[in-house]
Amino acid sequence: MIDYRRAAPATQRNRDPIFGVLRRILPPTGLVLEIASGTGEHVAYFAAAFPRLRWQPSDADPRARASIAAWAAGAKNVLAPLLLDASAETWPVEQADALICINMVHISPWAATAGLMRGAAAILRQGSPLYLYGPYRREGGHTAPSNAAFDADLRARNPAWAVRDLEAVAEEAARNGLVLNDVVEMPANNLSVIFRR
- 128 CB neighbour count, 10 Å cutoff: 22
- The whole-number pLDDT of residue 81 equals 98
The structure's pTM equals 0.96
Residue 2: inside a domain: no
In a domain, 182, yes or no: yes
User: Is there a domain that residue 3 lies in?
Assistant: no
User: Do the domain assignments include residue 18?
Assistant: yes
* In a domain? residue 83: yes
133, HSE (Cβ side, Cα atoms, 13 Å): 24
The per-residue pLDDT for 136 is: 98
Segments forming the whole domain that contains residue 75? 9-196
- Tell me, yes or no, whether 60 lies in a domain: yes
Which residues, 6+ apart, have CB-to-CB distance to 68 below 8 Å?
A: 37, 38, 39, 40, 43, 57, 59, 81
Q: What is the domain count for the chain?
A: 1
181 falls within a domain: yes
pLDDT-derived band at 60, boundaries 50, 70, 90 = very high
Residues whose CB is less than 8 angstroms from the CB of residue 103 and which lie 6 or more positions away in sequence, other chains included:
10, 36, 38, 133, 134
Q: What are phi and psi of 33, to 5 degrees?
A: -95, 125
User: For the segment 95-131, what is each residue's pLDDT rounded down to a tens digit?
Assistant: 999 999 999 999 999 999 999 999 999 999 999 999 9
Rounded to whole angstroms, the Cα distance separating 2 from 19 reads 30
Please report whether residue 1 resides in a domain. no
CATH of the domain at 171: 3.40.50.150
pLDDT at position 1 over 80: no
Question: Please, which pLDDT band fits residue 3 given cuts at 50, 70 and 90?
Answer: confident
